[in-house]
Amino acid sequence: KHMKIAFIGLGNMGGGMAANLVKAGHEVRAFDLSAEALARAKENGAQTFTAAGDTLDGVDAVVTMLPNGKIVDDLYTGDVIGKAPAGALLLDCSTIDVATARKVADAAEKAGYPMVDAPVSGGIAAANGGTLTFMVGGSDEAFARAEPILSAMGKAVIHAGGAGAGQAAKICNNLILGSTMIATCEAFNLAQKLGLDPQVFFDISSKASGQSWSMTSYCPLPGVGPQTPADNDYQGGFAAGLMLKDLKLALAAAQSAGADVPMGARAEELYDEFAKAGNAGLDFSAIIRTL
Ligand code: NAD
């Protein structure tokens, strides 16, 4: 069924996602604070508006792709909840903290709006190509309504559990990713210092128990393993600054849940130093350069 969908936050990720909703035949009503982002959305077939509230007229659903939890909270509680049509489905695809995701979903549900948190795995290329993976938190009913909308923007849509479960899955996954990337970089550095040929080490470790996605699919050393950002001078890929953001969210969640995350805490420190040294825009595997 073709729907009327408000889309707020048309940046690196949201721009391509909104375009894929248009391609799927939906009527997209777009808003972003950036005039440039709005102009691009218009070129891609969305109707554009100069205030968030103006996008809401008659919509079946509201999708957001915004930088952080504070902005998401302010937007939903200030502009959307109580103002969108009764019963409209709310989908926040931003990566934000679990606590804010639960707080906003609770306020939405109390006002009669089913809501899902649906953060994504996959970068800008996956957003443009419609091949994102969505990890979704919310009720069974909200998930059932969200699924067809998210499917138009991704290749996989997974129900993780109740409100906040999508964010929890995302940050726990990236907690592993941050630690395994640094561990893989360490091992390549040591292997070379011990006189091992890095390609030989890759061939062994990628088939042995040192195997992980960071090793096998995203090898941080240029010229070794599959084509990765390392082969493109660490341009593109998943920015170190975004890895740092996700590690900070994981640490905050761990603190409030009383979970011990010593490896994640060290990974956060190392990515923080790396970002502060001016490397936030490089792919996160470039941290190998610091060893
Ligand atoms: P971005 O900064 O490119 O886009 C965010 C957009 O939101 C900007 O265009 C900005 O103008 C707009 N915006 C900010 N406040 C607003 C407001 N109050 N009202 C309307 N528009 C507003 O960021 P991005 O890379 O597109 O990331 C968006 C989200 O996706 C983040 O939560 C990020 O962590 C997550 N994410 C990003 C990637 C990636 O590779 N870039 C991958 C996975 C998840």
How far is the centre of ligand 1, averaged over its atoms, from the C-alpha of 224 (Å)?
32
Percent of the chain past pLDDT 70, that is, above it, reads 100
Do 156 and 237 fall within a single domain? no
Atom 21 (ligand 1) nearest CA:
32
- What domain count does the chain have? 2
Domain boundary among 161, 189, 204: 161
How far is the centre of ligand 1, averaged over its atoms, from the C-alpha of 32 (Å)?
10
pTM of the model: 0.94
Report the CATH number at residue 70. 3.40.50.720
pLDDT, residue 163, reads: 98
Do 10 and 154 fall within a single domain? yes
53 Cβ closer than 6 Å to some ligand 1 atom: no
Do 186 and 266 fall within a single domain? yes
Do 137 and 56 fall within a single domain? yes
Do 151 and 9 fall within a single domain? yes
Q: Which region holds residue 208: left if phi is over 0, alpha if psi is between -120 and 50, else beta?
A: beta
Report the CATH number at residue 222. 1.10.1040.10
Token pair, residue 218, equals 């995203």
Do 172 and 157 fall within a single domain? no
Tens of pLDDT, residue by residue over 266-285, are: 999 999 999 999 999 999 99
Rg (CA), the chain: 20
ipTM > 0.90 for the complex: yes
Range of the domain at 93: 4-161
Annotated catalytic, 170? yes
Atom 1 (ligand 1) nearest CA:
11
Tens of pLDDT, residue by residue over 129-181, are: 999 999 999 999 999 999 999 999 999 999 999 999 999 999 999 999 999 99
Do 142 and 187 fall within a single domain? no
Do 206 and 93 fall within a single domain? no
Token pair, residue 162, equals 């109740």
- β-strands 27-31, 4-8 pairing: parallel
Do 45 and 17 fall within a single domain? yes
Do 217 and 80 fall within a single domain? no
d(CA 288, CA 274): 10
pLDDT at 1 over 90: no
Non-local (6+) Cβ contacts of 167 within 8 A are 95, 96, 97, 98, 101, 117, 119, 135, 137, 249
Atom 4 (ligand 1) nearest CA:
11
Do 129 and 214 fall within a single domain? no
14 Cβ closer than 6 Å to some ligand 1 atom: yes
73 Cβ closer than 6 Å to some ligand 1 atom: no
Do 185 and 78 fall within a single domain? no
95 Cβ closer than 6 Å to some ligand 1 atom: yes
